[in-house]
Each structure stands twice: as C-alpha cells, then as structure tokens.
Amino acid sequence: MIERFSLDMASSIGWEVIASDEGELRVARASDLSGEAYRLRVGETTTIEAASEAGVSCALTTLRQLGPDELWSVSTTAVERIDLPFVDIADAPRFAWRGVHLDVARHFFDVATVCRLIDQAAAHRLNVVHLHLNDDQGWRVEVPSWPRLSEVGSWRRSSPVGHEDAGVDDHETHGGYYDAHDLGTIREHARSRGVLIVPEIDLPGHAQAVLAAYPELGNADAPLEVWTRWGISEHVLNASEAALEFAEDVVTYVASLFPDSPVHIGGDECPTAEWESSVEARSAMIRHGFSDPRQLQGLYTSRLAGALRLAGHEVIAWDEVLDAEVADDTVICAWRSPSKGTEAARRGHDVIMAPMQFLYFDWLGSDREGEPVALAPVPFVTSWQKVYDFRVVPLDLEPELHHRIRGAQAQLWSEYIATRDHLDYMAFPRLCAFAEVAWGTAGTPEEFRPRLVEHLGRLRAMGVRYRELDPQ
C-alpha cells in the first residue's frame, strides 16, 4: 500500500514517499486492531497503526484528504510545501462490504475506465467493485473453450438512442470484451488499492448474447442476434444437461481469473415463458420432481453454486433466488427493496443491501428539467440527499440478526450510460454520499453538505465530471 501511495504522490505532486523506521512516515502493525481499523497520528513524525494492508490503505487515504486538493491531481502539479494539522484519528468502518457495481454488458467500458473507477472507489474507502460481465446485450469475457462468446456475443449491431420507449436506434455496432490479461490487469490494480473485484455471470436468464453465439443452448427455433433492445429478453438457456454444463464451465472459468473473490451468479429476472412451452423443460421438471417451471432457475442456481463452492469461492446472488430453495451460505444481494434484505437475514443468509429505491444510480439525480435520459421518469429519482438518508441495516430487522448485514452496494446499470463522462455524472456526488453511509458514519444531509462542497475540489483534481450540486 505504501508503494501505491508513493506512486500517487509522485504522479500528483512529484514527491517521493518512503516509509521507514527512521523517516517522517512510519507504519506499524497494531495487534489490538482488526480488519480495516487504523490509527493515524500526524505530528513531527506521522505514524500509522493498523492490523492489515486494508487498514493502512484507509489511513493513507485519510492522510491524503488532510492535505490540499493537489494531492489528488491526475496530472503532476507544483507543490513545494504541505502543512498538515497535528491530529490523532482512530477510525474503523461499521460495515465490511462497501461496494460499487458497474454494468459493462449493456455498454462496454475499457480497462482504463474500469481501473479509474477502482481509483475513485478507493478514494472514498469503498472496498468492492462488482463487474456485471454478461447480459442479453453483450458478453464481455473471452472464454477459450467457447470462442463464439467473444467473437459473436460481444457485439451488437445497434442500440437505442434516448429512451428506449422512443423507438429510435443508432444503427452503430457496439461491443468489446476482456481477455484473461485484461482481467488480470484489473484484478491487480484493484489489489494495489485494497479493492476486491467481484465478477458476475448471470445465467440462465439474460442470455440472448449467449444464444446468438450458441443457439443450440436455447429454446428458440429461429436464430437470434445479440439483443438491440434494453429490458429483459424472453430467451433463456434451455433445461438440457448440455446447457447446464455450459453454464458451469463458463462460470468456473471466469471465477478462476479471480481466485480470491466471491462470485456473483445473478439469478434475477429469469422469464419462464420458453420453459413453459418446452418439451425438454417439461422432461427436466419430471426428472427432478419439479412442479413449477421457476424451479428450473433453482436448478441452475444449485449447480452453479455447487461448482463454485467446490472451487473454493463464496457465492452471491440477487434476491430472486429466495423464490426457490437456496443454500444457507449463499450471500443475498437485496435489490428489489430493503424488505428483501430483512427476509434474507431471517432465512439465515448474509446480506448485501442494494435496494433500487436508494442505491440504483441509473435513476434520475433530481426531478429538475434537463437531467440526462435515465432508466425511468419522475418520480423515480435518487438524489444524493436520498442516498445519504439510506440506512444499511433495515429498521424492521431484529437486533440479533444485524450481524447478517455485511454492508451495502451502489449500482451503476449502463443502459443509459454510454461514456466515461456520463458515468462520472451519474456516480458523483451520489457515490460520495454513499461512502459515508457504507462506512457507517452518516448523519444528516444538512451536516454532510459542507463536507461535500469541500470534497468537490478533490473530485475536480481527480478529473471527475460530477453532477453539480443544486442550489439550496
């Protein structure tokens, strides 16, 4: 972490930073601390005490925030002297999981943009970046044993312009994918920042890009293309053993590229219309003793989860998996509402809170005229104030179950986010508000606003094209 901090200082102000027993910056292990907790003392000698590299990273971020905005500059600036206040700080996060999700399937973002988001997350002491790597509109990972996934499934011929309801398309090819080297670069960059990358492969729904590449895995008679619409395609993987083995193969391959990470298997929004009319699906239901086609989703969930656990990975899934039987050690990402987090915790699951009503940053940032096109119109609005008012632990959850709430995660779905600047606009300043919520120190929006105003200078130094604050 010191090496990363030294590189940051060299890049921003041209200074060399070395931690040593003799120098002005000293780092020591503290046996009485745990996790990401740290103590920072700024004086004639600056000392950091922490129990882990993650704690050191959090302390160095705090140290950087005590200085001028230039310390966050993405281009080298001339700073000859920095005066820091003499302070003693002892700090620790309340929640272990403080994440941001990026959908690279609807719109592909290159390695540099993903690494930039990792930098931004770390600057706000967020410690997880979740990558949504496939959907109906694109497959984003090269899998050597299934080459058509990247050759065919990663490219679509057109996308909607403006809101999809307008029915206007751009007729421009869009796509891209990451190979193993790309994902290794992302993984190692995140590691240097104390950030964990969580890959997601979402099957058996959200599969039209897969079926464009391998139609034999689907249920349709006619060939399919990578979907050029937003929303949810009715086309899903079939219920054959071959399709189940395919899903296991690609999920475990992607997992192997992130050996220390949990793996998200999706499990949301899987239509059953094709299964309901499929002879093959009915046969599979008979074989497994199922009475409802929705149970086939559970079959995929159990197969994928079993394969991942065998490979040593923890399994995460969206809250729809609660609609069927799901293993107790599956971590639930509660997105439909906070009540789904309560339900999951009561059923014995650890929970990541990600409710769309507060933490979906593809929603409008305000109800003012002139906002860019977003997922839905007013009243589907999530201002930074609304984000800041979110409380991670559901109010109706019994105190003895609070330990089930690992933390929270903000979502950047990208149907209506196609460029880096627009990504910045939709993420910030909402992600700044979320950072305090996820750390566990949020007060009131009125108390937070002066800190946020001051923090905007750091965002400007980082080159973030954030949404300006509305007048009070």
**Per-residue pLDDT tens for 100-115?**
999 999 999 999 999 9
Q: Are 86 and 103 in a shared domain?
A: no
Q: Are 106 and 85 in a shared domain?
A: no
**Per-residue pLDDT tens for 190-216?**
999 999 999 999 999 999 999 999 999
In a domain, 216, yes or no: yes
Return d(Cα 134, Cα 137) in angstroms, integer.
Answer: 8
Question: Domain total for the chain?
Answer: 2
Q: For the chain, list residues with pLDDT below 50.
A: none
Q: Considering 91, 117, 136, which residue would you say is the last residue of a domain?
A: 91
Q: Are 71 and 168 in a shared domain?
A: no
Q: Are 159 and 307 in a shared domain?
A: yes
For residue 87, the cross-strand partners are 42
Q: What is the pLDDT of residue 459?
A: 98
Q: Considering 58, 91, 124, which residue would you say is the last residue of a domain?
A: 91
**Per-residue pLDDT tens for 301-350?**
999 999 999 999 999 999 999 988 899 999 999 999 999 999 999 999 99
- In sign, the C-alpha dihedral spanning 411, 417, 422, 426 is negative
In a domain, 472, yes or no: no
Q: Are 327 and 228 in a shared domain?
A: yes
Q: Are 299 and 405 in a shared domain?
A: yes
Length in residues, the chain: 472
Q: Are 113 and 158 in a shared domain?
A: yes
Q: Is 95 helix (H, G, I), strand (E, B) or coil?
A: coil
Q: Copy the structure tokens of residue 256.
A: 């192997």
Residue 15, classified by CB atoms within 10 Å of its CB into exposed (0-12), middle (13-18) or buried (19+), is middle
In a domain, 466, yes or no: no
Q: Are 352 and 404 in a shared domain?
A: yes
Q: Are 72 and 130 in a shared domain?
A: no
Q: Are 83 and 126 in a shared domain?
A: no
In a domain, 452, yes or no: yes
In a domain, 236, yes or no: yes
Task: Return the percentage of the chain with pLDDT > 70, whole number.
Answer: 100
State the angle between helix axes of 111-123 and 180-192 in degrees (0 to 180), rounded to the nearest 10: 20
Return d(Cα 295, Cα 324) in angstroms, integer.
Answer: 6
Please report, for the domain that includes residue 28, its CATH number: 3.30.379.10
Q: What is the pLDDT of residue 223?
A: 95
Please report, for the domain that includes residue 146, its CATH number: 3.20.20.80
Q: What is the pLDDT of residue 10?
A: 93
What is the extent of the structural domain holding 425?
A: 97-461
Return d(Cα 107, Cα 174) in angstroms, integer.
Answer: 8
In a domain, 417, yes or no: yes
Q: Are 56 and 126 in a shared domain?
A: no
Angle made by CA atoms 352, 175, 414, in degrees to the nearest 5: 35
| DSSP symbols for 227-243 | --SSS--S----SSHHH
Question: Do the beta carbons of residue 364 and residue 381 sit within 8 Å?
Answer: yes
In a domain, 414, yes or no: yes
Q: What is the pLDDT of residue 86?
A: 95
Q: Considering 67, 91, 115, which residue would you say is the last residue of a domain?
A: 91
In a domain, 304, yes or no: yes
